[in-house]
Amino acid sequence: MVLCPDPYYLASQELLGSYYLVRNDMPNARHVFESALQVKMKVFSECHPQVLSAMESLADVLKNLKEFEGSYALFVKVLNLRTANSGPLDAATIKCKMSLAIMMCEIGRAEESMGIATEALKDANDTLGPSHWQVLEYLAAVGHIYTHLKRYDEALYYVNTALDRSIKEMGPDHYRTKEVRLKKEWLERVQRGDMAGAEQVYQQSQQKDHGSHGVQSTVDVSATDEAVLQLYAQCKALMEQGQGFAAANQFDKALPYYEQVYSNTDLPQCTSLPGVGPE
């Protein structure tokens, strides 16, 4: 029998960290993911999905804190481990590759990041299909990198492709379509040299829709272990669909209980549960 940290504790760590990240509370997100990584490294191998998830989340937090050296090192490490263990066409590997490319672009390595980003986009298109929401995000991300390189025609091509597909698949009023439309407006302002206007559009894009996007919680949140895992599964599913703010809104009501669970460092050991314990 393999023992692991209490699965409710691991679930609380993962959800709390993701919640703080979505809510832009980077100091708390960093604390949670660093703690989660320390716990998981004691019981799982370095290439375990739980460990890689914590590493990648911490890399994202460090990027937002502008600690680029540490973020870059973690992204590269996770990408190498994911590629070796899951293969280059695994969705998580592709996502990590694109995250690395975006981070490199932001620190002035746009030319170098372009090859990584276009490779990730091709792999995602072949693996997930051209209409998948992640592919649409990756199209816009490649356009963003081309904008940094001042290759505006190519940038507009990728952003327009993302916008056209988003309108076709999700409609003109869907929140993803609105996000792509803002990215196009930002690009056009940069191209015109209207940097003040571009900054305004950027700030607007950061004030994302905190609505549930039609997703309603079916979990009766109460101070029970079963409710913890039910909400964990629901919020995780939303985040995997890219609906981070919808997940955060579902999680708001349970935040006090999760913080209580997470702060209890004396939770007992127990056997693994599906999707939470060792694989």
Confidence of residue 240 (pLDDT cuts 50, 70, 90): low
Q: What is the pLDDT of residue 17?
A: 80
Whether the CB-CB separation of 152 and 187 falls below 8 Å is answered with yes
Report residue 131 as tokens: 């209409």
Q: What is the mean pLDDT of the chain?
A: 79
- 46 has a pLDDT exceeding 50: yes
260 versus 51: which is more confidently predicted? 51
49 Cβ partners below 8 Å, 6+ apart? 92, 279
Range scoring the smallest mean pLDDT among 23-32, 80-89, 226-235: 226-235
Whether the CB-CB separation of 75 and 91 falls below 8 Å is answered with no
| Four-residue CA torsion sign, 268, 269, 273, 279 | positive
- 141 has a pLDDT exceeding 50: yes
Determine what percent of the chain is predicted with pLDDT higher than 90.
48
Question: Which of 95, 12, 5 is CA-nearest to residue 59?
Answer: 95
Whether the CB-CB separation of 54 and 26 falls below 8 Å is answered with no
Q: What is the pLDDT of residue 225?
A: 56
3 state SS of 239: helix
Residue 270 is inside which H or E element, if any?
strand 270-271
**153-161: long-range pairs with CB below 8 Å, 24+:** 155/187, 156/184, 156/187, 156/188, 159/183, 159/184, 159/187, 160/184
* pTM, rounded to two decimals: 0.74
3 state SS of 213: coil
Q: What is the pLDDT of residue 40?
A: 84
3 state SS of 133: helix
- 277 has a pLDDT exceeding 70: no
- 2 has a pLDDT exceeding 60: no
The per-residue DSSP string of 123-168 comes to HHHHHH-TTSHHHHHHHHHHHHHHHHTT-HHHHHHHHHHHHHHHHH
Mean of pLDDT values over 56-75: 93
Mean of pLDDT values over 31-48: 86
Calculate ∠ Cα 51-22-119, nearest 5°: 60
Report residue 107 as tokens: 């620190």
Question: Which of 98, 188, 100, 181 is CA-nearest to residue 135?
Answer: 98
Q: What is the pLDDT of residue 272?
A: 38
Helix axes 91-106, 110-128, angle to 10 degrees: 160
> Tens digits of per-residue pLDDT, 102-124?
999 989 999 999 999 999 999 99
> Tens digits of per-residue pLDDT, 176-218?
888 899 999 999 999 999 999 988 988 887 665 434 333 333 3
Q: What is the pLDDT of residue 14?
A: 74
Calculate ∠ Cα 39-40-44, nearest 5°: 140
Cα gap 221→239, rounded to integer Å: 19
- 158 has a pLDDT exceeding 80: yes
Question: Which of 101, 131, 106 is CA-nearest to residue 118?
Answer: 101
226 versus 34: which is more confidently predicted? 34
End-to-end CA gap in the chain:
12
Q: What is the pLDDT of residue 273?
A: 33
16 versus 132: which is more confidently predicted? 132
Report residue 39 as tokens: 């716990």
53 versus 6: which is more confidently predicted? 53
Report residue 149 as tokens: 């390189």
Q: What is the pLDDT of residue 214?
A: 37
